[in-house]
Structure 1
Amino acid sequence: MTDPDAGTDGERPQRCGYIGLVGRPNVGKSTLLNRLLGMKLSIVSRRPQTTRNSILGVQTRDDTQFIYVDTPGLHGRQKKALNRYLNRSAVTALRDVDVVVMLVEPQRWTDDDELVLEHLRQLDRPVIAVVNKVDLIPHKEELLPFLEELAGRYPFREIIPLSAEKGQNVEPLEEVIRGYLPESVFYFPEEQVTDRSQRFLVAELIREQLMRTLGQEVPYSTSVALEAFEESDRLIRISAVIWVERDGQKAIVIGNGGQQLKRIGQQARRQIEHLVEKKVHLELWVKIREGWADDERAMKSLGYDEN
């Protein structure tokens, strides 16, 4: 069978472009990005709004360079400046992409899903719908009514059911995306996998453990900032501050006798060592900055800057 994208010499043209991964919170955007890259780049937890910054993940395969943009989950509740920042960050990231991948969950359509569509209607971009987490549906024929309903909501170019966590049907998605990327030289060196610094990724890994370890509300009032990152041949010494908004939150993060903070540090250190491929000495401190999540100046000082 002849490849319709191949030229007269049998070779496919080189393609490169940006792909925006968008959806409401907790639909699996970061899990899908990590699966597409074949490595862990974006942090993942079961908590909504784990992703707070748009992150580029670069995957170069033969004649194609996929530049994925993982965005914060779009959501209607904007009680604090942090919530408004997350929405602006997601919408801004979509302005310059070549194709959009919208993730939804099977058998479930919410007001936040509709909010995502409202923003997509304002873009002149091809949109592919991904129905994630289909591994949770025991009888796949049960998906058909939802897929038909989804097709009626928006003129998606394709609708692809898959499981990002299990890796089911992810390769066909990649090939579909390729067809919508422009012919172009590569924008990044072939070995580069992200535009983010190692310091940023380290801070994210610490925050991931906060999200996974703490209770329902406290993680959303925490932020992580590195104060020291000293690298030698065999060891990296890292000092980081976990910022919270209130005394009670500080006590929860530290735990009885400091045990909670110790556990968070141990788990984060293992993840960081895997990232940097060196031994790591990690020191964590917990400090209070009242109301930082509703103070745009404080947020900017903590690294939440859209520019």
Structure 2
Amino acid sequence: MSSSKSGYIAIVGRPNVGKSTLLNHLLEQKISITSRKPQTTRNNVLGIKTVGRVQMLFVDTPGIHKGQDKAINKYMNKTASSALKDVDVVVFVVDKVQWTEEDVWVQQQVANVSCPVIIAINKVDQINDKADLLPHLQRLSEALPNAELVPISALKNQNLDKLEALVTAFLPEGEHFFSEDQITDKSSRFLASEIVREKITRQLGDEVPYQTAVEIEEFVEEGRLITISAAILVERSGQKKMLIGDKGERIKQIGQQARLDMEKLFDSKIMLNLWVKVKRGWSDDERALRSLGFDE
């Protein structure tokens, strides 16, 4: 009988290249929130996939981005960079044939790791002229000569089997860390707060989502019913008004969409109560960030 394999795989890249979508499709289950807006992911999220004797522990990281001196941005960069230490494989996700300053910045960090690196060129289904891909592949192989290159489409599930086979080949032999039916190490409270945050991010314009956080104040399971109460923190009263919407319509919509996702995830009936609180400057206050669980 072949021995088992197990190891950690960091999924890294600049914001908005499709890291969370990739994790969800690899797991065939949604545990990492997604939106078209960059910097949706704030914490490292562990996704566990066990196939026979192989256990892959994928770490979805916040997008590594330059600039922005707020405490929350520094926290997100530190969180993403810390995932590069002590992993067995790095999957560096890039977006089609785009190559920006931020990609270069991530590449410089990835160049320092001692483990195998796979570059996943995502969204290749959106490249109209495939001839554009060749010079890009050339540039990537020059930037990271020892990396394996895999063109994929996370959203369309294209070539993910090849990516998974490569990851498996690189994993060390060893016992599994988690039971085979576990898909994440995150608590139900964390997952519930992330679902609410995703709906806010998808509903609102560019500015407000980055100045919101979700605090779960109650999570009570009684048989097949879970009662969840969550406070949405914003920085200014104008944002509170925007979040609530005309006659409370927007927050009602956010609540309905979040509840449906939670019912699917937790396989239970959900009673969800949401309200909005103004907490000025929370995103640049390290103590406030710690109280919201940002130092986990």
The answer to whether TM tops 0.5 is yes
1:21-72 CA distance string (max 9 Å, x none): 0000000000000111111110111110010000111100112110000000
Rounded Cα–Cα distance in structure 2 between residues aligned with 1:125 and 1:116: 15
Distance in 2 between residues matched to 1:88 and 1:53, nearest whole Å: 10
Other-structure match for 1:116: 106
Cα distance in 1 for partners of 2:234, 2:268 equals 29
Q: Which residue of 1 aligns with 2:158?
A: 168
Kept in 2, the 8 Å contact 1:231–1:237? The answer is yes
Matched with 1:6 is none
Letter in 2 for 1:164: A
- Which residue does the alignment assign to 2:182? 192
- Offset, 1:287: 0.2
Q: Matched residues in 2 for 1:166 and 1:125: separation? A: 28
Cα 1:266–1:45 shift into 2, 3 Å: same
What is the distance in 2 between the residues matched to 1:239 and 1:302?
A: 15
1:257 aligns with 2:247: yes
Unaligned runs of 5+ in 2: none
Select the structure of larger CA radius of gyration: 1
Deviations 1:45-100 (A, max 9, x none): 11100100001111001121100000000000223110000000001121111110
Counterpart of 1:245 (choices 235, 246, 254) is 235
Aligned to 1:38: 28
Aligned length: 296
**Post-superposition offset of 1:138:** 2.5
Q: Partner residue of 2:61?
A: 71
1:14 aligns with 2:4: yes
SS of 1:240's partner is: strand
Structure 1 residue 12: deviation in Å?
A: 4.2
- Equivalence map 1:72-111=2 (5 Å): 72-111=62-101
Counterparts of residues 190-269 of structure 1 (less than 5 Å):
190-269=180-259
Indicate conservation of the 8 Å contact 1:56/1:194, yes or no.
Answer: yes
TM-score (norm. length: structure 1) = 0.94
The structure 2 residue matched to 1:158, chosen from 139, 148, 151, is 148
- Quote the Cα distance in structure 2 between the aligned partners of 1:229 and 1:106: 41
Matches within 5 A, 1:129-168: 129-168=119-158
Say whether the 8 Å CA contact 2:141–2:147 is kept in structure 1. no
Deviates more, 1:115-124 or 1:54-63: 115-124
Deviation at 1:182, TM superposition (A): 0.4
Normalising by structure 2, what TM-score?
0.98
> Is 1:282 equivalent to 2:281 in the alignment?
no
Shift of 1:199: 1.0
- Aligned to 2:106, the other structure's residue is in SS state helix
What 5-or-longer segments of structure 1 have no aligned partner? Answer: 1-10
- Alignment-mate amino acid for residue 298 of structure 1: A
Tell me if structure 2 keeps the 8 A contact 1:129–1:156: no
1:217-273 CA distances to partner (integer Å, 9 max, x unpaired)?
100000001101111113111110000001111111011111111111111111111
Take 1:141 and 1:62, find their aligned partners in 2: how far apart are those partners?
39
Q: Is 2:185 aligned against 1:180?
A: no
Q: Report what 1:7 is aligned to.
A: none
Residue in structure 2 matched with residue 271 of structure 1 by the alignment: 261
Post-superposition offset of 1:276: 1.2
Amino acid at match of 1:285: W
